[in-house]
Amino acid sequence: MDKIVVLDFGSQYSHLICRRIREFSVYAELVPYNITLEELQKHNPKGIIFSGGPSSVYNSDAPIPEDGIFDMNLPILGICYGHQLIVNKYGGKVKQANKEYGSSLLTIDNDKDLLNGIGESVRAWMSHGDEAEEIPPGFQVIGHTESAKFAAIASEEKSIYGIQFHPEVVHTEQGTEILKNFVLKVCGANQDWNMKGFIESEVEKISKIDGNVLCGVSGGIDSTVVALLIQKAIGDRVKCVFVNNGLLRLDEEKEVEEMFKNNFKVNFTVIEAGESFLNKLKGVEDPEKKRKIVGEEFISVFTEFAEKKGPFKWLAQGTLYPDVIESGVSKGPAAVIKTHHNVGGLPEWLNLDILEPLKELYKDEVREIAKILGVPEKLFMRHPFPGPGLAVRIIGEVTPKKLQISKLASKIVEEELMEAGLYENVWQAYASVGDDKAVGVVGDERKYGNIVMIRVVDSIDAMTADWTRLPHGLLEKMSNRITNEIEDVTWVSYAISSKPPATIEPQ
């Protein structure tokens, strides 16, 4: 299939470029900016995109791609820092400017190729501290803003384009259309990336592995799709194991067991391990330590099961692209945001090979696969749930009391969203609890109780998220129910921080 390669220079939006391109059925893959020419040629790309990044091209340690990449005679699109790289490479000048972060009006000066069909002007998202002072010979201005007269430039002869703004973020109007113009019109890529094709190729790939597979399932869509894909490929050689770690949503362990036994013809075993997980987490407050403890305990449980019921050669997991990225083990220079228990939390002593069929996919792509494989709609429309469970929604030490508060409060949040017809409109919703307390009044008595934080966000792929503007009346209903129905809760707050700078989960 045709492919667009995105060179990652460290932008928080790098993976959104790939995500947007995949939306119109072209495969896009992120690679490190310092990939060798030889390695890049193996990808056989139809075009190359340089991402944004925090560096300045005039600094001595600025990340620069291998020189031969510019000589591949492939179309290139530079975004933000990538735009400045192109300016600098071909003889223009880049200067430090006043930092510009936010929406600007982009006026279209030339609507051929890259900006074709965009209109006379659009709102474009800026996030930069440098800008082009002079453009290179042979380039022309195709778009400008009030503060950036070289906001979009092009060399039609070389098929090289540079844009100072970010078309990959939703704040840029017609941003996807700009990327589509580059990928489809300039690069001439075929739209041959689809989930039916992915299923066929992945099943064929998995069918060639030797040995048996131990598949950990959580009841979530990711691990369920992994289980069904592997079963489709190797049949009874996969054994699905559900570990009840005590950190699940209210009554979730019962729902998961019923779902697998009633809907899927797979080998399925339940392991009750809640007590061991809670014992390991006792007294631990640090978020990263909690994540790693949960990860190690999962592996410990699986390893013990494998030794008794094996032999197994593989451990299968529902790792997704965002998990890999945030854990700092992605292909680009991304910083570690938090360790995901099925990625960065794996212990060194693990003696099973890891099988991760979905690690290059985004959540909505997995949902599409789920539909194709016949997963019940109730499951694939369910909100994402973190691998370490409520351990990362409980701030500070995980205690039985805080666990119960989080379970009951989260259930109330979900029920009220469903009642209002909004559950499927939001990406994720839950209630978190920590050690902070506040004074309340119950009846005529003073009460000193826990504070619960409600978190509801909108997102497409979990790479970025915005807090959901719920109706005040709905928030009031949630708050009243939580304080009335859950003992020891006196206050309810609503989190209004987006990602970035916050993350979706509190820990």
- Identify the active-site residue in 18, 23, 80, 215: 80
How many Å apart are CA 257 and CA 232, to the nearest integer? 20
Is 168 an active-site residue? Answer: yes
Q: Are 478 and 412 in contact (CB under 8 A)?
A: yes
- Identify the active-site residue in 23, 100, 168, 202: 168
Is 80 an active-site residue? Answer: yes
Tokens 């060399």 locate to 155
Please count the other Cβ atoms lying within 10 Å of the Cβ belonging to residue 251: 10
DSSP 118-182: S-SEEEEEEEEEEEEEEPPTT-EEEEE-SS-TTSEEEETTTTEEEESS-TTSTTSTTHHHHHHII
How many Å apart are CA 484 and CA 211, to the nearest integer? 54
Tokens 């001439």 locate to 188
Is 416 an active-site residue? Answer: no
Beta bridge partners of 153: 141, 162
How many Å apart are CA 286 and CA 294, to the nearest integer? 12
Please choose, from the candidates 80, 73, 64, the residue with its C-alpha nearest in 3D space to the C-alpha of residue 17. Answer: 80
- Identify the active-site residue in 15, 166, 340, 341: 166
How many Å apart are CA 118 and CA 352, to the nearest integer? 51
How many Å apart are CA 48 and CA 158, to the nearest integer? 13
How many Å apart are CA 507 and CA 501, to the nearest integer? 13
How many Å apart are CA 323 and CA 340, to the nearest integer? 6
Strand arrangement of the beta sheet that strand 314-316 belongs to: 267-272, 238-244, 213-217, 314-316, 353-355
Q: What angle do CA 258, 261, 266 make, to 5 degrees?
A: 140
Q: Are 283 and 397 in contact (CB under 8 A)?
A: yes
List active site positions.
80, 166, 168
